[in-house]
Structure 1
Amino acid sequence: MTKTLLLLANGFEAVEASVFTDVFGWNQLEGDGTTELITVGLHPQLKCTWNFTVTPEFLVSEVNLDDFDALVIPGGFEEAGFYSDAFDARFSKIIRHFNDNNKLIATICVASLALGNSGILKGRKATTYNHPTSIRRRQLANFGANLVDAPIVVDNNIITSSNPGTAFEVAFLALERLTSKENCHKVRELMGF
């Protein structure tokens, strides 16, 4: 059984988190049953970008990071306070722990900026929100990342993506990495993909 930490920041996009809960949940019931997803945050209640309130299962201070095999982080909106949590020292410490132990880290959209802020993307390939009007790609490059113009970028243990539309593919890629290609294909097919 693998355990994945779903790290949630205030202002995260619910849809970007829900793809992980759904894909990993489908795997629990219909796939090989070997994945467990645990929601963790800095606060007892978190408000999503569009005012949906979520109660994480645990606070960051209540978990042992060594118990987890993977880290996944959904992106969010600056206007909803996403970067206050995503750039918090506790977030960065968690990200560095997973990277230092070469464990899988998967992010959606602007969550890659949290990785950049933690320092783990220096000299590594990554992407982030890619709309032509957005400043996020420049911000990611300023963190030292080698910016790649692709929907999803994989650099060893790190998966980054360019927008919310990539969310399901990131979740499936994480599932494949944690289980197998065959198991992931089965879950995708059962979910209608």
Structure 2
Amino acid sequence: MKKVLLLLANGFEAVEASVFTDVLGWNNWEGDGSTEVVTVGLHPQLQCTWNFNVVPEKLLHEVSLEGFDALAIPGGFEEAGFYTDAFSQEFQEVVHHFDEHKKPIATICVASLILGHSGILQNRRATTYNHPTSKRLAQLQSYGADIVNERIVQNEHIITSSNPGTAFEVAFSLLEKLTSIDNTRKVKDLMGFK
């Protein structure tokens, strides 16, 4: 069983988290049955970007990072307090653990800024929210990342993406890294993706 730590910051976007639970959940029931997602946060209750409350299965201090095979992080909004948790020492330690062990790390939209803030994107290709009105690409570049203005950028074991519209693609990319191309195609087909 491949265990995925779904790391949730206050102010995260629910849709960006749900793609991981859905894609990997479909795989668990309808694919090869090899994936499990555990939602983890710093607080017993988290508030999503749009005032939606979520109770994570575990608090971060309750889990052993060694027991997980991959890390998934949804993005969120500054106005909802996302960066308070996202840039915390606790989140940074999680990112460093997965990077040091070369385990897959999948981020959606501005969640790549968590990786940039940690320093692991120094001289690595990456992207983040790229709308023309946003300064997030410049922020990611200030962390030393080699900016690639594409929808999704895969660099070694790290996946970064440019906006919420990439969410399913990122989740399927993570599934492929954890299982296989054929299994991922099967799950995509069952979920109605072509």
TM-score normalised per structure 2: 0.99
| Per-residue deviation, 1:43 | 0.4
Residue of structure 2 equivalent to 1:27: 27
Residue of structure 1 equivalent to 2:90: 90
Task: Check if 1:81 corresponds to 2:92.
Answer: no
Q: Match of 1:188, as an amino acid?
A: K
Within 2, Cα distance between the matches of 1:155 and 1:187? 24
Within 2, Cα distance between the matches of 1:25 and 1:98? 22
Aligned residues: 193
In the alignment, structure 2 segments of 5+ residues that lack a partner are none
| Per-residue deviation, 1:65 | 0.1
Residue of structure 2 equivalent to 1:70: 70
TM-score normalised per structure 1: 1.00
What CA RMSD, in Å, does the superposition of the two structures yield over aligned residues?
0.3
Within 2, Cα distance between the matches of 1:95 and 1:64? 13
Identical-pair percentage: 68
| Per-residue deviation, 1:19 | 0.3
Q: Match of 1:65, as an amino acid?
A: L
The 5 Å alignment of 1:2-21 reads: 2-21=2-21
Within 2, Cα distance between the matches of 1:158 and 1:190? 26
Q: Which runs of 4+ in 1 moved over 6 A?
A: none
| Per-residue deviation, 1:105 | 0.2
Residue of structure 2 equivalent to 1:104: 104
Within 2, Cα distance between the matches of 1:59 and 1:41? 5
Task: Check if 1:60 corresponds to 2:60.
Answer: yes
The 5 Å alignment of 1:40-59 reads: 40-59=40-59
Within 2, Cα distance between the matches of 1:170 and 1:186? 16
> Tell me, what secondary structure is at the counterpart of 1:192?
coil
Residue of structure 1 equivalent to 2:171: 171
